Amino acid sequence: MSPATDALVFSEATSSKVFAERMPSGKGGQLPLLMAAVARHTHELIKEFRPTQDDWRKVIAFLTEVGHASDERRQEWVLLSDLIGASALVEEINSRRPKGATPNTIRGPFFRSDVPERSRGSSISLDGIGEPLCVAVRVIDLDGQPIPSAELITWQANAQGLYENQQPDLQPEHNLRGLFHTDADGRVNYRTVMPKGYSVPDDGPVGHLLAAAGYPLHRPAHLHFVVRAAGFETITTHVYDRNDSHLHEDALFGVKPELVRDFRATGADASQTKQVDFTFVMVRARPERAK
């Protein structure tokens, strides 16, 4: 028989196998296997839901619209990955840590690497708008020993649930952002304002699709942190306000019990400055994961 007659014929039953058999073996590393798996799962979805040609064209149109909505300032593909839990799952797989260590979460779209260094005890609220909050942080290792000179980057939304780079004309440059270094006891204290929870961007194709499906797009109030120290795995995580009503439905799947804290009043008057304390527990880096 000729190779043409030996080959599998494309049909509903054989579709993904026909695609996989056309992938070259022994080259491309894992890419051919990954593409074959993507095709297999896509074909399974099509067989399960049996879309019409018009339905499938709508899927293609949605993916095209996502691409058109992405540029250097906005990444709609990242938003899609975040909202379907793909980003959180990749993070979960790649940052497994022993019990007691601070877990990672995804960084989110509002991080800036050009954060100014600030002195311990100073305020990162440059406009002073919002309910005062004092943050007390300690950075230790798994044995409970302090980690001095650790780098701590923090950023957050303001009292309206908006980040400084969302409102460049309304908030001061680098508002509610700061870089600190821990003291000899692994401690950092700084002042800020209470963050507000918010809805993820819903003005693009991803938000429109998920909102139409009734999917919750809320993010509970939180502070972001990146903690780095020589010889340790970098921590990228959140600290969440226990009293936020949307804690159970974080759109980016970042809430973990270890990351929830009370943002509590420091005096008898609940309107006084609030306080939150958090201890970051770092893990020594394995050679293949050192950053």
Query: Token pair 């993904």 is at which residue?
Result: 16
Q: What is the CATH number of domain 76-289?
A: 2.60.130.10
Q: What are the tokens at 74? A: 């906005």
Please report, in tens digits, the pLDDT of each residue of the chain (291 residues total).
455 556 789 999 999 999 998 888 777 678 889 989 999 999 999 999 999 999 999 999 999 999 998 887 678 998 899 999 999 999 999 989 999 999 999 998 889 989 999 999 999 999 999 999 999 999 999 999 999 999 999 999 999 999 998 898 999 999 999 999 999 999 999 999 999 999 988 889 998 999 889 989 999 999 999 999 999 999 999 999 999 999 999 999 999 999 999 999 876 665 578 999 999 999 999 775 544
- Domain coordinates of the chain in residue numbers? 3-50, 76-289
The β-bridge partners of 240 are: 222, 260
Q: Is 100 exposed, middle or buried (0-12, 13-18, 19+ CB in 10 A)?
A: exposed
Separate counts of helices (H) and strands (E) for the chain: 7, 11
Q: Which residues make Cβ contacts (< 8 Å) with residue 260, sequence separation at least 6?
A: 239, 240, 241, 242, 247
CB 65 within 8 A of CB 208: no
